């Protein structure tokens, strides 16, 4: 079972299916956000439908790019044979 899951998320042949699955999950999250009551929203952007889904997605993308930048350009990542 775990081998099939790891194969699905790791192999290139399932790339299109993965992409469709992730888009479907994103759409479902936006739809679920439309069903949430907004009567206790504190800020202006909390009233926007889909805001929390878009904010979460963009935050994750930004976190990935910042960590890649720090690893490669910031000197945090070392070669595999660094301690050899």
Cα 83 to the center of its chain, rounded Å? 33
- pTM of the shown model: 0.55
Per DSSP, helices labelled H in the chain are 2-10, 15-34, 51-72
Q: Which of 50, 58, 57 is nearest to 33 (CA)?
A: 50
Q: At what angle do helices 51-72 and 15-34 cross, to 10 degrees?
A: 140
pLDDT tens by residue, 29-83: 878 888 888 888 888 888 888 787 788 889 999 999 999 888 888 777 777 776 7
pLDDT score of 56: 87
16-26: b (≥16 Cβ within 10 Å) or e: eeeeeeeeeee
């Amino acid at each position: 079972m775990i081998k099939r899951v790891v194969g699905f998320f790791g192999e290139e042949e399932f790339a299109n299916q993965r992409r469709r699955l992730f888009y479907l999950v994103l759409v479902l999250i936006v739809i679920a956000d439309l069903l949430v009551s907004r009567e206790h929203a504190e800020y202006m952007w909390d009233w926007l439908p889909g805001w929390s889904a878009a904010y979460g997605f963009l935050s994750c993308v930004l976190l990935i790019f910042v960590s890649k930048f720090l690893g490669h350009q910031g000197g945090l990542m070392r070669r595999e044979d660094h301690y050899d």
